[in-house]
């Protein structure tokens, strides 16, 4: 692979694998509020937030770091009170107990309105309008990706779209994603100079820290902690139990509102955790060196990015289906497998957990992640034993890339009605 193509892929990974504090959906909403507040120049008297269905679904039931609270109102209030757009998806990292109390008061004064935009122009769409007591107004709009501002206004006058805390719309338009298929993903991960991909080890550092926090404390449903302390009698002291406990623990911390960043993938912290921790856990069990771990992590993260390119940022398909497929690729590499075995693992994954629904970001995401990463290890094990689901079975094709596109077509197109019904159920309970 030539240097230019490698640099394009590295740029793509660095754009898609980034730190995030808390769930990326409420963080993106808080970011949009912070930007609108900065344009207004003062704490808003009122905030009107419009969201696409998928944004609303993914922000309703998740813990907000450092607050002990769940959902959008506190994220919006803190975005107005302390948010700084220059921090991007770590917009709320300066939260304090005093500011949480201020946020609670702000909410109690009925200054925040949240509405569902049925005909939003993008699956990922946030529109924030702020007003002050003197009648001045501001507006900020994020679309397509979690930090991509497409519209900024003050008193109805459009401003230049530019933000330290978010991507520039102009840069997004100029940057063309490099072509990816599984062969390209594998070639890059296995041949790129180590010094060019060493940066991916930071995903290990951040996500492992989140896991360690939840393994020694109780967040969310404490699945990771429970697996580590009580699961040995059922699962043993095995690679599977280590993978499930480490991965679900990081998710417990993130969904439970721990004030600690994780490394995300394609706009999702849970996807970043799911693409990272199974690979890290297995690598530690076999005492893999840093070079080998870095290549396995690149395989996992870049496979996930590749699948998300055709699936889209948000969908009715649970992100753990995507990220655990990436993780299975990385585990196969750690087991000594090559391209054929990795393709087999990917097809085994698609044959198994395609169709798992996303019903929003929430503490029980750790349960879905545990299903995904358990399947990742099983699929890798079968692949290394030369076992692969065949073209005669279900949606699998001999061609791995076609199998991937079958998966993403189901998630992107066939599950749209499912997505609408899930949102209806969630908003009418």
| Secondary structure in 3-state letters for 2-41 | CHHHHHHHHHHHHHHCCEEECCHHHHHHHHHHHHHHHHHC
The verdict on pTM exceeding 0.85 is: yes
**pLDDT tens-digit series, residues 31-54:** 999 999 999 999 999 999 999 999
pLDDT at 427 over 90: no
Question: In whole angstroms, what is the distance from residue 257 CA to residue 68 CA?
Answer: 7
Provide CB contacts within 8 A for 128, sequence distance 6+. 29, 32, 33, 35, 36, 47, 48, 49, 50, 139, 140, 141
pLDDT at 312 over 80: yes
**pLDDT tens-digit series, residues 116-152:** 999 999 999 999 999 999 999 999 999 998 999 999 9
pLDDT at 423 over 70: yes
Give the residues across from 162 on adjacent strands: none
DSSP string, 220-244: TT-HHHHHHHHTHHHH-SSHHHHHH
**pLDDT tens-digit series, residues 258-303:** 889 999 999 899 999 999 999 999 999 999 999 999 999 999 999 9
pLDDT at 165 over 80: no
**pLDDT tens-digit series, residues 191-211:** 999 999 999 999 999 999 999
Helices 201-215 and 269-286, packing angle to 10 deg = 90
314-338 mean pLDDT: 96
306-334 mean pLDDT: 94
pLDDT at 162 over 70: no
Q: Residue 170 — very low, low, confident or very high, per pLDDT cuts 50/70/90?
A: very low
Mean predicted lDDT score pLDDT of the chain: 93
330-341 mean pLDDT: 98
**pLDDT tens-digit series, residues 56-92:** 998 888 889 889 898 899 999 999 999 999 999 889 9
């Amino acid at each position: 692979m030539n240097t230019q193509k490698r640099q394009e892929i590295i740029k793509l990974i660095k754009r898609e694998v980034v730190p995030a504090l808390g769930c990326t959906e409420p963080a993106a909403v808080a970011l949009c509020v912070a930007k609108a507040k900065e344009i207004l120049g003062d704490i808003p008297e009122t905030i009107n937030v419009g969201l696409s269905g998928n944004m609303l679904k993914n922000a309703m039931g998740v813990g907000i770091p450092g607050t002990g609270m769940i959902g959008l109102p506190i994220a919006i209030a803190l975005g107005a009170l302390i948010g700084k757009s220059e921090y991007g998806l770590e917009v709320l990292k300066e939260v304090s107990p005093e500011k949480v109390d201020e946020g609670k008061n702000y909410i109690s004064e009925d200054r925040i309105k949240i509405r569902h935009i049925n005909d939003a122009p993008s699956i990922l769409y946030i529109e924030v309008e702020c007003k002050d007591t003197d009648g001045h107004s501001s507006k900020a709009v994020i679309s397509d990706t979690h930090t991509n501002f497409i519209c900024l206004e003050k008193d109805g006058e459009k401003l230049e779209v530019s933000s330290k805390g978010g991507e520039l719309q102009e840069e997004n338009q100029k940057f063309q994603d490099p072509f990816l298929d599984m062969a390209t993903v594998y070639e890059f991960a296995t041949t790129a100079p180590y010094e060019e991909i060493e940066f991916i080890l930071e995903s290990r550092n951040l996500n492992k820290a989140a896991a360690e926090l939840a393994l020694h404390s109780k967040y969310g449903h404490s699945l990771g902690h429970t697996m580590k302390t009580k699961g040995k009698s059922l699962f043993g002291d095995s690679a599977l139990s280590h993978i499930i406990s480490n991965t679900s623990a990081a998710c417990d911390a993130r969904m439970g509102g721990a004030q600690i960043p994780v490394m995300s993938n394609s706009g999702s912290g849970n996807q970043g955790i799911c693409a990272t921790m199974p690979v890290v856990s297995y690598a530690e069990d076999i005492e893999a060196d840093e070079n080998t771990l870095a290549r396995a992590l690149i395989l996992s993260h870049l496979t996930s990015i590749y699948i998300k390119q055709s699936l889209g940022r948000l969908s009715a398909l649970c992100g753990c289906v995507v990220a655990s497929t990436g993780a299975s690729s990385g585990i196969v590499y750690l087991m000594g497998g090559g391209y054929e075995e990795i393709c087999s693992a990917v097809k085994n994954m698609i044959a198994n957990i395609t169709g798992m629904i996303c019903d929003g970001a929430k503490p029980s995401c750790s349960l879905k992640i545990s299903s995904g990463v358990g399947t990742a290890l099983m699929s890798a094990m079968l692949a290394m034993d030369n076992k692969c689901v065949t073209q005669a079975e279900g949606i699998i094709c001999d061609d791995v890339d076609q199998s991937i596109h079958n998966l993403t077509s189901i998630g992107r197109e066939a599950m749209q009605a499912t997505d609408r019904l899930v949102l209806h159920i969630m908003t009418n309970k």
